[in-house]
Chain A
Amino acid sequence: VQLVESGGGLVQPGKSLKLSCSASGFTFSSYGMHWIRQAPGKGLDWVAYISSSSGTVYADAVKGRFTISRDNAKNTLYLQLNSLKSEDTAIYYCARRHYSGLDYWGQGVMVTVSS
């Protein structure tokens, strides 16, 4: 199992960014997937979830600004980040759902929101 995030970078407040998570080594379409973030030196913060049937759930802090999606044909998970704020600065991880936990995580991608 491998999860590889991409698409991070430095972006100005109010702008947008799209993160990708390329999955391999398992049947991607059969698993729910999460995005979790971690601000520098801080704890873990759950962001969003998409089920295998593409049902979605969001944290209140990102609802209406972020959109999680998936392309099962490409084995890829996405997170569209709009109207970015400085408090969205963090390492963003994708992770695979495993019962009540998350069993495989990507290496993370840094998103920095700053003018």
Chain B
Amino acid sequence: DIQMTQSPASLSASLGETVTIQCRASEDIYSGLAWYQQKPGKSPQLLIYGASSLQDGVPSRFSGSGSGTQYSLKISSMQTEDEGVYFCQQGLKYPFTFGSGTKLEIK
């Protein structure tokens, strides 16, 4: 199985700050990576797919980049509504696997 290692486990950011979350795959996943945001008591919401494609309706302050085994999610200007837990997920091979999550809070 492809292992997804996500970092950091948690972070706090000020309003307007740029935030970056990292995800490393145990093998090359050829940009088959998605990012999700999950808020308490809610189901996950797709933010990015194909490593860098912004899902419809997602604010443009979210962006994804990377290739091979290293990927990142960037929030260019932290907003209050961006608090939540963020997960990466590889969709190249079954079983699909998720990172352990990054809890993002407002400082």
Chain A interface (Cβ within 8 Å of chain B)? 34, 43-46, 49, 57, 59-60, 93, 98-108
Q: Which of B43, B45, B87, B91 contacts A100 (CB 8 A)?
A: B91
- Cβ of A57 to closest chain B Cβ, rounded Å: 5
Q: B20 in the interface, Cβ–Cβ < 8 Å?
A: no
Beyond A46-B95, A49-B94, whether A101 also contacts B34 by CB under 8 A is yes
How many inter-chain residue pairs (CB < 8 Å) link A and B? 67
Q: Is the CB of A46 within 8 A of B96?
A: yes
Q: Which of B45, B53, B87 contacts A44 (CB 8 A)?
A: B87
- The distance in angstroms between the C-alpha atoms of A46 and B17, with both chains bound, is 32
- The distance in angstroms between the C-alpha atoms of A70 and B36, with both chains bound, is 25
Q: Which of A34, A57, A59, A98 contacts B46 (CB 8 A)?
A: A98
Q: Is the CB of B101 within 8 A of A34?
A: no
Q: Is the CB of B92 within 8 A of A44?
A: no
Which residues in A have their C-beta under 8 angstroms from that of B48? 101
Closest to B34 in A: A101
Q: Which of B53, B96, B100 contacts A43 (CB 8 A)?
A: B100
- The distance in angstroms between the C-alpha atoms of A106 and B94, with both chains bound, is 21
Q: Which of B44, B50, B87 contacts A99 (CB 8 A)?
A: B50
Q: Is the CB of A43 within 8 A of B89?
A: no
Q: Is the CB of B43 within 8 A of A93?
A: yes
Which residues in A have their C-beta under 8 angstroms from that of B92? 100
Closest to A49 in B: B94
Closest to A3 in B: B43
> Can you list 5 contacts pairing A with B, beta carbon distance less than 8 Å?
A43-B100, A44-B89, A44-B101, A99-B49, A101-B55
Q: B62 in the interface, Cβ–Cβ < 8 Å?
A: no
Q: B23 in the interface, Cβ–Cβ < 8 Å?
A: no
The 3 closest A-B pairs by CB, nearest first: A100-B91, A101-B34, A101-B49
Q: Is the CB of A105 within 8 A of B50?
A: no
Which residues in A have their C-beta under 8 angstroms from that of B97? 46
- The distance in angstroms between the C-alpha atoms of A109 and B73, with both chains bound, is 29
Q: B33 in the interface, Cβ–Cβ < 8 Å?
A: yes
- The distance in angstroms between the C-alpha atoms of A12 and B46, with both chains bound, is 34
